[in-house]
Amino acid sequence: MKRIAILGSTGSIGTQTLDIVRQHPDRLRVTGLVANRSATELISQAKEFGTKNVALMDEKSAREHLLPGGIQAIIDIATHPEVDLVVIAVAGVIGLEPTLAAINAKKDIALASKEVLVAAGQIVMPLVAENGITLTPIDSEHSALFQCLQGYSNDQIHKLILTASGGPFRGKSGDDLAKVTKAQVLAHPTWTMGGKITVDSATLMNKGLEVIEAHWLFGTSIEEVNVVVHPQSIIHSMVQFKDSSVLAQMGWPDMRLPIQYALLYPERTPNHLKPWNPIETPTLTFEAPDPETFQCLQLAYQAAREGGTMPCALNAANEETANAFLKESIGFLEIADINLKVMQSHTPVEPTLDNIIATDAWARITARELIAK
């Protein structure tokens, strides 16, 4: 029996993680649950799964509902003796401190929050090695790479190939994008996701952040991580090895598969998911991304090359601009424009925990000021 704590249990990844637990009650037990403000749903989850250790990130909501709250309460759940694996499914850098604490407590990590490695991969991955724990990725693309690399060492990799659906605006020009609406952005062609990540998919920022995450997760150079647009979203990513062979992981676009793999790794256990049938998708196509139109992808590469706290600054700015777009405070193309201006205003420093927290706060303030203009 594997005992798990879920940080972000009421979000999209968190609720799908609980779906997997329901399918495997003999293998998985939920011993900790954390939400942001959704106290009613959190309490309902705790009752269903018999979970005593719960907390809210938002301290005001926690006080209102007489629940533990704040960062220390979250860390206490992530490091609790009755936890074997911590699912990190919270949005933003707020997940970093509990992740570091859990690693130091020698808890295995199932990581869905890409911001943890984008902002602090230089800290997190050495700590993973030092503590001898297992970090399994939940993102479908990184799970695919992780699966393809089983049994292979990094020195055998020629390149990592992340696939992207291209979002709802694949093939559109800059002029087209200047007019897009919130409803058009949220109409993703293949995936059902939360609002912010759907915006990131449309700008290709999501793919840019995944490039940085893969760079740290698999110990490759940023230049060895490539992106290819694959509209059908059947191949979730590929690895090209130095002998020129390519391995791919394939399946229907359903996040429950990489979640299950992360929770039960290294086992492959039967489930209720529909297996992919090649006859049903006889044509798989690929094309290069358009970096001129979708500038956020190139901003991510630029941030990774500059290093230090620059990826953290970009990530924080992008959270603010994506959410501002969802509130219809800025236009679609302004997302990349403001992200770039924040990067241009930032001088990167060494990514210590204190510097990351300070950079995250600074970038958010700077982005909000630019949004207000």
Q: What is the mean pLDDT of the chain?
A: 94
Give residue 350's domain range: 307-373
What the block records as the tokens of 253 is: 């676009």
Q: Could you tell me if 226 and 120 lie in one domain? A: no
Query: pLDDT tens digit string along 239-272?
Result: 999 999 999 999 999 999 999 999 999 999 999 8
Question: Is residue 273, in this structure, part of any structural domain at all?
Answer: no
Q: Distance between CA 90 and CA 93 in Å, rounded? A: 9
Query: pLDDT tens digit string along 62-118?
Result: 999 999 999 999 999 999 999 999 999 998 788 999 999 999 999 999 999 988 999
pLDDT of 69 reads 95
> Mean per-residue pLDDT for 295-309?
97
pLDDT of 190 reads 66
Band (pLDDT 50/70/90 cuts) for residue 171 is: confident
pLDDT above 70 covers a percentage of the chain that reads 98
End residue of a domain, out of 118, 133, 148: 133
Q: Could you tell me if 64 and 156 lie in one domain? A: no
Query: pLDDT tens digit string along 131-153?
Result: 999 999 999 999 999 999 999 99
Bridge pairing between strands 135-137 and 225-229:
unpaired
How many domains is the chain partitioned into structurally?
3
End residue of a domain, out of 133, 148, 167: 133
> Mean per-residue pLDDT for 164-173?
85
Cβ proximity of 165 and 231 under 8 Å: yes
pLDDT of 184 reads 85
Burial (0-12, 13-18, 19+ Cβ within 10 Å), 302 = middle
Structure-token match 């929770």, residue found: 263
pLDDT of 167 reads 82
Query: pLDDT tens digit string along 196-207?
Result: 888 998 999 999
Q: Could you tell me if 205 and 295 lie in one domain? A: yes
194: pLDDT strictly greater than 80: no
Query: pLDDT tens digit string along 16-35?
Result: 999 999 999 999 999 999 99
Q: Could you tell me if 373 and 297 lie in one domain? A: no
Q: Could you tell me if 174 and 92 lie in one domain? A: no
Q: Could you tell me if 126 and 12 lie in one domain? A: yes
pLDDT of 192 reads 62
Q: How many CB atoms lie within 10 A of CB 266?
A: 8
